[in-house]
Amino acid sequence: MEMVANNYLDFLENKLFDELLDEVLLPNLVDKLNVDGITLNTGQVYSYLILPILGGAYDGSNIYPLEIYEHYNLTGEMHQKIRDLPEGTHVSINIE
């Protein structure tokens, strides 16, 4: 992981070059989702059925709209639980 900006405005104004834009914001994927009718309402973000860090794909079959706070709660909790696991570790997930 690498820090690319000091704050949000620095990121938008000085660091958002095309390669980083494509890597971080995935505009081509968002365009395809919109064409496929997978759009966002106010307060939603695109979330994953299976997180990419757990093998989920960056495509429309693995993405759905979710309320922003729920997305960050779920994904943050998952990342926190697996953060110290070595790459390639197999995990089991129980959904309650």
64 and 53 part of one domain? yes
Tens digit of each residue's pLDDT, the chain (96 residues)? 677 778 778 777 766 677 777 887 888 999 999 999 999 999 999 999 999 988 899 899 999 999 999 999 999 988 898 889 888 888 887 777
pLDDT at 94: 76
Confidence (pTM): 0.74
52 and 91 part of one domain? yes
Domain that holds residue 88: 40-96
83 and 63 part of one domain? yes
23 and 54 part of one domain? no
Q: What are phi and psi of 35, to 5 degrees?
A: -60, -35
Whether residue 72 contacts residue 96, with contact meaning beta carbons closer than 8 Å, is answered with: no
pLDDT at 16: 66
Whether residue 46 contacts residue 65, with contact meaning beta carbons closer than 8 Å, is answered with: yes
Chain centroid to CA 36: how far? 19
